[in-house]
Structure 1
Amino acid sequence: MALWRRLRALPTWILPVALGAVLLMLPVLGLDFSASRQIQLACILALLVSGLNLSLGYAGELALGQAAMYAAGAYTAGMLSAAGHTDIAVQLAASGLVVLAVGLLTGVAGLRLGSWSLAMTSFFLVLLVPDVLAVFAGRTGGRNGLSGILGPTLFGRPLDPTGFYLVIGVVLVAWFAVMRNIVVSRHGVALRVLKQSPVLASSMGISAFRMKLLAYALGAIPAGLAGALFANLDLYVSPEAFGFTLATTVLAASILGGTTSVYGALAGAAVMQFGPSQSSRFQEFALVFTGVFLIVGGVLVRGGLADLARKAVTRLDRAAGLTPQPASGTEGTADIPPIKGATLAVEDVSKAFGGNRALDGVNFRAAPGRVTALIGPNGSGKTTLLNMVCGFYRTDSGRILLDGERLEGATPHRVARAGVARTFQTPSIPDGVTVLEAVAAGRYSTDRASVLSAVLRLPGFRRVRRADREEAERMLALVGMGHLRGERASALPLGMRRLLEVARSLIAAPGVLLLDEAASGLDEDEVDRLAELIRRIRAAGGTVVLVEHNFRLVLDLADDIVVLAHGQVIAQGPPAEIETNPRVLGEYLGAAQEVA
């Protein structure tokens, strides 16, 4: 265990760097041709799998087009080589740009159609590869394949087998460094938020369409690089190499290695490359073998080999006494800086779903420095109204204004960027992120840092990351959860997840904060903590709209109360007036119920 403690004290990047160095040194150690070829093919497959992990594992978007992107990269490199452009660096750059363009074009089409359309679009793209190649048979060789590919060079010098092996190794290591930097950055957390719920992502100012397209297009790049390397490995490419069998192999390797893992792609690719190659009849029963691996990875090894490795590390940490202890902090004492609250006006808003009229001529106004409560029985239209304010539903009639600017018709992520933040009845917390990361994700749209700056770790990215952490620490202190900053967010109890949602919404300093039953599921201490936080937000100048069933809490916090019943406003006024309103007592509390 002493050795394990020393190993865990090392920076986390040491092991990947060491493995990369070993990979690059293997030719020097006397690697034979057969083993060298298998390793090169495994590296090429790992590039394909990593691209799928980015779109499927992190963004939650099933796309089976890796084989088609692979073909595009291979034929781009092959045709360049056959035309005399043999420099592998040029071919890699060209293949990457071509597949990026293909990924953007097919991704836009698939995502615009919605639902499973991207999966189907990318699947049919794989089926179309032979036909597309046949149409341009004069350049691609059609169904007979592309021959005449010249040996690769690098900066004018021919590459021998060892040199080309090193090129493959360097490309693999470089791509995985790029992917790792993306995944552990705020963009990686945003992808996990998107996978958890596109609705949640939109409410945080993240464009679900653009983020899905980004993941799909970036995931195409390693496939293009892999295609260029494959074309130069055998100096021949044919349509048979890019069919349905390859697509299922990539999917099986992704699931077996772990879709939400950077290095799981390497493990899955190694198993799929070295395992089946031991069977002389694999080619005949390739789909059967692949199906078995899919079942093993999807059912028997849920989370893949990467998840098994994480669990093993956790057990070793526990045995070595390395389980992190909760950090102490000044809970609930952080200051809330002045908030520039906005005026939210709902004017004569109506909404019907078929024959059901959910809202009918609703009017209310929420002002800065005040808490406006929306109350009413279940089905009265409270959450529907919040969804309309946030842009998830379109109004049938009426206007929704934020400081005089119209919101109706705006997309949810634009409403969020305009300054409207909210929590949900059921807390939605992305899996695989810490409490600190979950709260920091709320700043994604308020302080920008490009993907390129995240990849290169530029000063601008470092500045934004530092600000994200500092603000997240402050928000966690406000809700009394600073000691949980390193815990897995999705494993928290319901009450703490609700408080975490409040912190995530507040971190963006919104002009209007919509709280949808935020006190539901909280214990008495947590309710008091939430109430005190809402008072401090109000005192700082924030605009709070509170949807709540805890009538006593509403009376204690609200400056104005709007009562809904059957989609209409039946009463509106200060707590003292609403508390004694006969119609409110009848519709909301029940005619026979007394208010204590």
Structure 2
Amino acid sequence: MTMQIWRTLRGVPGWVYALVFAAAVFFAPMMGLDAANTRQVQLACILALVVSGLNLSLGYAGELALGQAAMYAAGAYTAGLLSQEGHTDIVVQLIAAGAVALIVGVITGIPGLRLGSWSLAMTSFFLILLVPDILAIFGGKTGGRNGLSGMEPPTFFGQDIGTDFYYVVAGVTIAWFVVMRNLVVSRHGIAFRTLKQSPVLARSQGVSVFRMKLLGYALGAIPAGLAGALFANTDLFIAPEAFGFTFATAVLAASILGGSASVYGAVLGAAIMQFGPNQSTAFQEYALVVYGGFLIVGGVLLSGGLTRLITAGRRWLDRKAGMNTPPVPAHGDPAAAVTVDPIDGAVLEVTDLSKSFGGNQALRSASLRAEPGRVTALIGPNGSGKTTMLNMICGFYTADAGTIAIGGTEVQRFSSHRVAREGVARTFQTPNIPEHVTVLEAVASGRYMTDRSSMLSAILRLPGYRRTARNDVAEAERVLESVGMSHLRDEVATSLPLGMRRMLEVARAVVAQPRVLLLDEIASGMDEDELVRLATLIRALRDAGATVLLVEHNFRLVLSLADTIIVLAQGEVIAQGPPAEIERHPRVLSEYLGIDPDGPEAAEVETLTR
């Protein structure tokens, strides 16, 4: 009976539970919540807004920053100063506070992100330390270290709000979490997760890492600004101490404890921080110690926060209820024909390419040409420069000399995301898949730069976004069907075995019908059926008109697929030609296969590869 109830509950969409919880929070005073607890819920909502901004930057974009406290202060003082000037309408204050916080986020985020590494964290940390000094400098307006007073009670379109201000706080909080939820479950949310997992992977999908990280950080400033405006109108007084390092630590602790990679983790963490330590009258004296303890608990003992524990418990119940089965091998005939829409492939031409890393010459005047409708294989022993060649084609490395042209356009000086936008897609030697996404979402993410849709459209669920989302799902399902993984569409992508994850990477690369497809040792770890599926798909892509460049150690697979084989050794091209010629080439047998060209092993290899 218990498992039957669980099956029923799991069938209800998650947003329904969130809606019920939101309604309970909004109508709590009407249901008899006393004044003291009503204030605590109100402050928890304000804290949750600030924490959600950090979650967007840290949990989704993967960028640690403590600047939300400074943006919180910017929003609060913007609202306070407007109130002093007679602009008491809460809508005006919220818009102004959000805009000012956004500007602060952009201005402080640009230098921090440009410098890279931990620079944004340090920049935002110093920004918090400067807040009291900045307020003191403009003390004539802000009240300096004595705080800002003299604010007028807020109004709503000319009507006094009075004791109903709680509903404004709850309504703004609920509205923001709807916005955030719509954003992070959209294709843009998957792009943020991809960026957090690997900036290299994000670039390979056409995402500008700098712009995306700045966007995540700046968007996270908006709820902090809104929270500041609401906080300023709660007591009609603002003290600089409310925005210091202690508060920034509390925000970070709430994010880590609740779960930074979760929309509702911000609510859970903020509620714990507000209803827990703040209940003690002696709390302020030991605030940093308590927050430090929460950081340790959330960051070390509860990796992923409390929401990760909730998710793990849900999966355990799924298994008990027979709702969660391990991934099974692909369905259907692995050699079944695959239908691929026509692809406008582009000629890939690499001419006299050279690259050195310190004293190591990775490539020496290497050249290759890959044409549409053909499979070009690049082979060679380990360390010969194959992956270096792919990385240079993708724009991850800058050439010391030589040119790289795609469809006649020289791209050797392009950034990696610009190269991807020229229609280049690739896989990696080690499968690179974001955490906490399904197989369907992981494959659909390959279309991020193919069919554009704005974040505003995603947040408001406009018709343009809905059309793009439907196309993403349809194309992802079509490609999953072609690789025999359609039955795994709802599985967590990172839970798949190695061979399936490699096939998923292929599906993600081909879903946008790239003009040039780069496959880097994709067959490693695949079983026989998966190899047959892979070969069938590559032939279908070739026949559709794609340009395929295959780097692979499976010599038999290379000989069966390639129209042209190029052999690298010590950074130089030592041979190129059709498979029949390459499999007999003396230097290939000697340097790639380690076989004496005149010995009996050479004849055995020729027989084996036929």
Shorter-chain TM-score: which interval?
A: over 0.9
Between stretches 141-150 and 305-314, larger displacement belongs to 305-314
Partner of 1:44: 46
Equivalent residue runs for 1:270-285 within 5 Å: 270-285=271-286
How far apart in 2 are the matches of 1:376 and 1:531?
20
For residues 106-255 of structure 1, the aligned pairs below 5 Å read: 106-161=108-163, 163-255=164-256
Q: Which residue of 2 aligns with 1:481?
A: 485
Tell me what 2:374 maps to.
Answer: 370
Q: Which residue of 1 aligns with 2:70?
A: 68
Q: Structure 1: which 5+ runs fail to align? A: none
Q: CA deviation at 1:418?
A: 0.4
The alignment partner of 1:421 has SS state of strand
CA distance in 1 between partners of 2:482 and 2:528 (Å): 17
Q: Which residue, 18, 26, 30 being the options, matches 2:20?
A: 18
Structure 1 residue 160 displacement after superposition: 1.3
Q: How far does residue 9 in structure 1 lie from its aligned partner after superposition? A: 3.1
Give me the whole-angstrom Cα distance separating, in 2, the residues matched to 1:316 and 1:514. 41
- Counterpart CA distance in 1 for 2:552 and 2:467 is 38
Q: Aligned equivalents of 1:107 and 1:66: distance in 2?
A: 11
Q: Distance in 2 between matches of 1:589 and 1:537?
A: 29
Partner Cα distance (1:3, 1:359) in 2 = 63
Measure, in 2, the Cα distance between the counterparts of 1:535 and 1:106.
Answer: 50
Whether the aligned pair in 2 keeps the contact of 1:330 and 1:477 (CA below 8 Å) is no
| Matching of residues 444-455 of structure 1 within 5 Å | 444-455=448-459
Is 1:434 the equivalent of 2:438?
yes
Q: What SS does the aligned partner of 1:101 have?
A: helix
Write out aligned runs for 1:352-371 (5 A).
Answer: 352-371=356-375
In 2, the alpha carbon distance for the partners of 1:309 and 1:146 equals 42
Cα distance, 1:272–1:527 mapped onto 2, change above 3 Å: same
8 Å CA contact 1:73–1:226 kept in 2: the answer is yes
CA distance in 1, matches of 2:538, 2:26: 57
Matched letter for residue 76 of structure 1: T
Q: Secondary structure at the match of 2:550?
A: strand
Residue 476 of structure 2 is matched in structure 1 by: 472
State the alpha-carbon separation in 1 of the partners of residues 535 and 102 from structure 2. 50
Alignment deviations for residues 334-383 of structure 1 (CA, whole Å, 9 cap, x no partner) = 51011111100001111111111111101110001111111111111110
Is the alpha carbon distance of 1:457 and 1:329 closer, same or farther for their aligned partners in structure 2, counting shifts above 3 Å? farther
Q: Distance in 1 between matches of 2:8 and 2:366?
A: 64
Question: 2:337 touches 2:536 (CA, 8 Å); kept in 1?
Answer: no
Distance 1:330 1:237 in 2: 66
Contact kept in structure 2, 1:515 and 1:547, CA below 8 Å: yes
Runs of 4+ deviating beyond 6 Å: 324-331
Q: Gaps spanning 5+ residues in structure 2: where?
A: none
Name the structure 2 match of 1:556: 560
Aligned position for 2:308: 307
SS of residue paired to 1:339: coil
Following superposition, the deviation at residue 37 of structure 1 comes to: 1.4
Q: Work out the CA distance in 2 between the residues paired with 1:518 and 1:506.
A: 13
Of 46, 60, 82, the residue aligned with 1:80 is 82
Distance 2:588 2:331 in 1: 44
CA distance change for structure 1 residues 5 and 581 in 2, over 3 Å: closer, same or farther? closer
CA distance in structure 1 between the aligned counterparts of 2:290 and 2:155, rounded to whole angstroms: 37
What aligned pairs does 1:330-409 form with structure 2 within 5 A after superposition? 334-409=338-413
Deviates more, 1:457-466 or 1:551-560: 551-560
CA–CA distance in 1 between the matches of 2:331 and 2:530? Answer: 17
Shift of 1:321: 3.9
Q: Paired residue for 2:101?
A: 99
* TM-score (norm. length: structure 1): 0.97
What is residue 537 of structure 2 aligned with on the other side?
533
Q: What CA deviation, in whole Å up to 9, does each residue of 1:131-181 have, x standing for no partner?
A: 1112211111112111111111111111112x1000000001000000000
For residues 438-457 of structure 1, what are the alpha-carbon distances to aligned partners after superposition, in whole Å with 9 as ceiling and x for unaligned? 00000000001111111110
Distance 1:288 1:114, change over 3 A: same
Q: Matches of 1:26 and 1:381 in 2, distance apart? A: 65
> C-alpha deviations, 1:171-230, integer Å up to 9, x for none?
010000000000110011111111110000000111111111111111111000000000
Q: What secondary structure does 1:18 align onto? A: helix
The residue aligned with 2:577 is: 573
Which amino acid in structure 2 is aligned with residue 218 of structure 1? Answer: L
Of residues 519, 541, 547, the one that matches 2:523 is 519
Q: Matched residues in 2 for 1:321 and 1:520: separation? A: 33
Q: Secondary structure of 1:283's partner?
A: helix
SS at match of 1:564: strand
Query: Structure 2: how far apart are the matches of 1:379 and 1:419?
Result: 27
Change (3 A) 1:220 1:202: same
Q: Distance in 2 between matches of 1:7 and 1:505?
A: 36
Identity %: 67
| Corresponding residue SS for 1:347 | strand
Matched with 1:461 is 465
* Conserved? CA contact 1:175–1:222, under 8 Å: yes
SS in 1 for 2:14: coil
- The C-alpha deviation readout for 1:529-582, integer Å capped at 9, x for no partner, is 111111111111111000011111111111111111111111111111111111
The Cα of 1:12 is off from its aligned counterpart by: 2.3
> Which deviations, in whole Å up to 9, do the C-alpha atoms of 1:64-97 show, x marking residues without a partner?
1110110000000000001111111110000001
Deviation at 1:324, TM superposition (A): 7.3
Among 54, 57, 62, which residue is 1:55 paired with? 57
Is the contact between residue 329 and residue 477 of structure 1 (CA under 8 Å) also seen in structure 2? Answer: no
The one-character-per-residue Cα deviations of 1:426-465 (angstroms, maximum 9, x if unpaired) are: 0101000000000000000000111111111000000000
Distance 1:361 1:383, change over 3 A: same
Q: Which amino acid aligns with 1:248?
A: T
Distance (whole Å) between structure 2 residues aligned to residue 330 and residue 471 of structure 1 = 19
Letter in 2 for 1:470: A
Query: TM-score, with normalisation over the residues of structure 2?
Result: 0.95
Moved more, 331-340 or 68-77: 331-340
1:520 counterpart letter in structure 2:
S
Q: What is the rounded CA distance, in whole Å, between the counterparts of 1:429 and 1:81 in structure 2?
A: 49
Counterpart pick for 1:6 among 5, 8, 11: 8
Q: Is the 8 A contact 1:333 1:477 kept in 2?
A: no
1:590 corresponds to? 594
Distance in 2 (CA, whole Å) between partners of 1:316 and 1:585 is 56
Contact 2:319 2:325 in 1 (8 A): no
1:565 is aligned with what amino acid? Answer: A
SS class of match (2:425): strand
Distance 1:329 1:574, change over 3 A: closer
Query: Relative to structure 2, which stretch is displaced further, 389-398 or 5-14?
Result: 5-14
Equivalence map 1:410-425=2 (5 Å): 410-425=414-429
Give the deviation of 1:8 after TM superposition: 2.9
